[in-house]
């Protein structure tokens, strides 16, 4: 991941930069739609967005339509929807009041627009390198995991807000970064860790400007914008906690309700090792779902290491916490979590883009992978949950 | 903008930060002091039970024998929590406790009949099931793995509430985890295939 330029003119996207992702919007939609027709030939083609909406997507649809559950949950189940953070589903619900479209159609269209925006704003962080940018655009909009960013999951908003946070942070705009982090902390629980990135970046900026660690605390507290940014950045989470306390008397319901899903807090390393060593007993199966999920986390940790190697400590701290904390509750959804870690996927794109041959092979792989993974998505592959 | 500026804007920014800090502290305090029902606290917060009772009607006519296998009677309104199913081999217990709730209209002495099969998961030689009626212990039975047995236990009239409400509680001290690091909310013990309450003669 590169630093955004202080001079905004340098980072201004050209017409090519604006148009290229549109190509991948088209190719991605076409590949996923054809996979839908192939997987469900008898289904009504107009139900494409509905068919793509699987797993947690249906929770978000009901949240956008009906808001948060009360207690006892009306469906008489233990799993209330308090586990899901509000920003994106409520935004869709709000827009749905103005635009009379079926929720899943509206949400999918908004996700595609958000994904497009997430790609364009990542341009400076990709070093304004056209090959890295192309790969990143292909990954988000037309890649094997593009279903996360083009149906109704919070991941797409998470990617956009994370990217905007780090763009502003690399320009030294703590307040701007804090504003986006506040929204990020209301999008997914790990979003609040971007607050730590602001603190780390401010500390590094202090060290760079003064050449010393001496008097760092006083130096940071003497910056009113930074102090305000620190308290703005977790605001989304705190507002959600306040809402839950008002709504049902338990501000930490989003955490407590994990019990209904049987989430067991344990050593993340143990989960990782168990996943990696869950060998297949099915002939012909190369990797088990547990191994795929564990490998996703390993790749994420490797890319976090690359960020640390490049001394991009604010992004590395964010990525490390956003991997290790969910990993402590198991491997479930790890692939989705890793796909939505913008600092990691941006770093991966810049690495792969270094060699022309690797760029070409990766681009073809991403586009071809979209077909097979969409079929696996329709097939209910648990590794994609 | 620096602290040393001492301008109204600088002081205003610090004041705003202080207000946010106070708000966040207040919210944190609220978060750490939930105001919830005992059932909510026991299941979600203290984790002292695996059975979170859901509201059910409990309508039941004394003497009716209930078939709890798939295709049998619709017993949703009698099962507040701790059951998964129905399946072909009955209603599977899930967690360490299951409840059955009956609204009988009036208290009366009854005989409770439960037809149970022990889970086939590898584990103890028998599954002990401690049964109580509205907190009055009725006894502990033993269910062998993969073996179906019928158990009848008398319920004294005094155990039933004045309005005829009866909650049968089944506790499974030997419940078996179906896999490594599986939460106890998913542990298994018995399968209930039939149940009835018959008036004592």
Copy the structure tokens of residue A32.
């996923």
pLDDT at B3: 65
Other CB atoms within 10 A of residue B199 CB = 11
Q: Are residues B63 and B160 in the same domain?
A: yes
Q: A26 lies in a domain? A: yes
Asked if residue B21 is part of any domain, the answer here is yes
CA distance B90 to B93: 9
Residue-number span of the structural domain to which B129 is assigned: 50-199
The CATH number linked to B186 is: 2.60.120.260
A256 part of contact set with chain B, CB < 8 Å: yes
Domain contains B42: no
Distance from chain centroid for Cα A125: 16
Bridge pairing between strands B83-87 and B65-67: unpaired
Q: Which of B133, B126, B152, B129 is nearest to B141 (CA)?
A: B129
Reading chain B (201 residues) residue by residue, the pLDDT tens digits are 666 677 889 999 999 999 999 999 999 999 999 999 999 999 999 999 999 999 999 999 999 999 999 999 999 999 999 999 899 999 999 999 999 999 999 999 999 999 999 999 999 999 999 999 999 999 999 999 999 999 999 999 999 999 999 999 999 999 999 988 889 999 999 999 999 999 998
pLDDT score for A277? 95
Inter-CA distances, A268 with A192, A297, A298, A352, B86, Å: 20, 10, 12, 28, 35
Decide if A206 contacts A314 (C-beta within 8 A): no
Is B25 within 8 Å of chain A by CB? no
Return the closest-CA partner of residue B126 out of B111, B104, B141: B141
Contacts of residue B45, Cβ cutoff 8 Å, sequence gap at least 6: A250, A256, B34, B36
Tell me whether residue A2 is in a domain: no
B39 within some domain: no
Q: Which residues of A282-305 are buried (b: 16+ CB within 10 A; e: fewer)?
A: eeeeeebbbbbbbbbbbebbebbe
Domain count, chain B: 2
Residues of A in contact with B49 (CB under 8 A): none
B21 shares a domain with B57: no
Under an 8 A CB cutoff, do B47 and A259 touch?
A: yes
Number of domains in chain A: 1
Instruction: Scan for tokens 């590949």, then name that residue.
Output: A31
Token readout for B141 is 């039975």
Q: Which two tokens stand for residue B56?
A: 């059910």
**Nearest-by-CA chain B residue for A75:** B54
Give residues 74 to 133 of A whose Cβ lies within 8 Å of B. 76-78
Answer whether B48 touches A (CB < 8 Å): no
B11 lies in the same domain as B110:
no
Is B38 part of any domain? Answer: no
Whether B57 and B29 map to the same domain: the answer is no
Say what the pLDDT of residue A356 is: 97
Helix (H) or strand (E) holding A167: helix A155-170
- Helix H or strand E encompassing A327: helix A313-327
pTM above threshold 0.80 = yes
Domain co-membership, B80 together with B15? no
Residue B43 within a domain: no
Closest CA of chain A from B64, distance in Å: 25
The answer to whether the CB atoms of B1 and A257 lie below 8 A apart is no
Residue-range definition of the domain harbouring residue A212? 8-384
Closest residue in A to B17 (Cα) is A228
Domain shared by B108 and B13, yes or no: no
Together in a domain, B100 and B193:
yes
**Is A3 among the domain residues?**
no
Q: Which of A250, A328, A257 is nearest to B47 (CA)?
A: A257
Could you tell me if residue A167 is inside a domain?
Answer: yes
Q: Are A255 and A314 in contact (CB under 8 A)?
A: no
CB pairs under 8 A between A and B: 103
Tell me: do B89 and B9 sit in the same domain.
no
Q: How far apart are CA A128 and CA B104, in angstroms?
A: 74
Question: Are B85 and B171 found together in one domain?
Answer: yes
Q: Nearest-CA distance from B3 to chain A in Å?
A: 5
Is A245's Cβ below 8 Å from some Cβ in B? yes
Residue in chain A closest to B5 (alpha carbons) equals A222
Give the number of other CB atoms < 10 A from CB of residue A375.
15
Going from the first residue of chain A to its last (385 residues), give the mean pLDDT of each consecutive group of 10, the final group possibly shorter.
84 94 98 98 95 96 96 92 97 97 98 98 96 98 98 98 97 96 98 97 94 92 95 98 97 95 89 94 90 97 97 97 95 96 98 97 98 96 91
The token duo for B77 is: 């309104």
* Closest CA in chain B for residue A256: B44
Residue B93 lies in a domain: yes
HEC sequence for B35-54: CCCHHHHHHHHCCCCCCCCC
Q: Are B82 and B69 in contact (CB under 8 A)?
A: no
- For residues B164 and B83, state if they share a domain: yes
CA A250 to chain centre: 27
B29 and B93 share a domain? no
Query: Which pLDDT value is given to residue A1?
Result: 87
E strand or H helix at B26? helix B8-32
Q: Are residues B27 and B61 in the same domain?
A: no
pLDDT given for residue A313 in this prediction: 96
Half-sphere exposure of A368 (CA within 13 A, CB side): 6
Output the 3-class SS for A188-244: CHHHHHHHHHHHHHHHHHHHHHHCCCCCHHHHHHCCHHHHHHHHHCCHHHHHHHHHH
β-bridge mates for residue A296, sequence order? none
């Amino acid at each position: 991941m590169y630093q955004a330029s202080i001079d905004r003119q340098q980072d201004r996207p050209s017409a090519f930069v604006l148009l290229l992702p549109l190509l991948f919007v088209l190719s991605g939609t076409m590949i996923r739609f054809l996979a839908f027709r192939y997987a469900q030939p008898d289904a009504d083609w107009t139900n494409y967005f509905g068919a793509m909406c699987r797993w947690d997507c249906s929770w978000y649809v009901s949240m956008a339509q009906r808001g948060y559950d009360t207690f006892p949950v009306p469906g008489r189940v233990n799993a209330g929807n308090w586990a899901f953070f509000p920003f994106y589903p409520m935004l869709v619900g709000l827009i749905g009041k103005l635009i009379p479209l079926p929720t899943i159609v509206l949400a999918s269209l908004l996700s595609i627009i958000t994904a497009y925006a997430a790609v364009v704003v990542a341009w400076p962080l990709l070093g304004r390198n056209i090959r890295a940018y192309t790969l990143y655009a292909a990954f988000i909009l037309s890649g094997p995991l593009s279903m996360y960013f083009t149906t109704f999951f919070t991941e797409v908003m998470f990617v956009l807000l994370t990217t905007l946070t780090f763009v502003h942070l690399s320009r030294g705009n703590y307040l701007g970064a804090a504003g986006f982090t506040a929204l990020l902390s209301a999008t997914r629980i790990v979003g609040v860790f971007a607050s730590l990135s602001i603190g780390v970046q401010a500390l590094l900026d202090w060290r760079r400007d003064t050449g010393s660690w001496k008097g760092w605390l006083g130096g940071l507290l003497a910056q009113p914008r930074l102090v305000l940014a620190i308290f703005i950045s977790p605001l989304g989470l705190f507002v959600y906690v306040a809402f839950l306390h008002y709504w049902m008397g338990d501000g930490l319901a989003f955490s407590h309700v994990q019990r209904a899903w049987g989430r067991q807090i344990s050593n993340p390393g143990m989960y990782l090792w168990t996943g990696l060593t869950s060998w297949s007993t099915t002939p012909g199966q190369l990797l088990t779902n547990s191994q795929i999920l564990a490998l996703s986390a390993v790749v994420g940790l490797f890319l976090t290491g690359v960020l640390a190697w490049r001394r991009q400590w604010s992004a590395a701290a964010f990525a490390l916490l956003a991997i290790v904390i969910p990993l402590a509750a198991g491997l479930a959804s790890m692939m989705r979590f890793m796909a939505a870690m913008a600092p990691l996927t941006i770093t991966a794109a810049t690495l792969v883009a270094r060699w022309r041959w690797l760029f070409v092979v990766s681009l073809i792989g991403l586009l071809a992978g979209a077909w097979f993974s969409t079929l696996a998505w329709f097939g209910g592959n648990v590794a994609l949950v | 903008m620096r602290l040393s500026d001492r301008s109204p804007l600088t002081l205003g920014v610090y004041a705003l930060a202080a207000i946010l800090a106070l708000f966040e502290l207040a919210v944190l305090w609220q978060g750490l002091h939930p105001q919830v029902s005992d059932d909510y606290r026991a299941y979600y917060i203290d984790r002292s039970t695996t059975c979170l009772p859901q509201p059910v009607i409990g309508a039941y006519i004394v003497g009716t024998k209930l078939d709890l296998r798939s295709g049998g009677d619709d017993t949703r309104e009698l099962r507040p929590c701790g059951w998964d199913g129905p399946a072909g081999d009955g209603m599977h217990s899930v967690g360490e406790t299951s409840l059955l709730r009956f609204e009988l209209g009036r208290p009366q002495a009854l005989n409770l009949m439960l037809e149970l099969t022990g889970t086939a998961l590898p584990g103890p030689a028998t599954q002990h099931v401690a049964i109580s009626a509205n907190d009055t212990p009725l006894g502990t039975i033993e269910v062998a793995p993969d073996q179906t047995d019928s158990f009848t236990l008398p319920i004294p009239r005094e155990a039933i509430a004045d309005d005829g409400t009866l909650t049968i509680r089944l506790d499974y001290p030997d419940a078996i985890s179906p896999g490594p690091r599986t939460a106890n909310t998913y542990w298994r013990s018995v399968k209930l295939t039939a149940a009835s309450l018959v008036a004592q003669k």
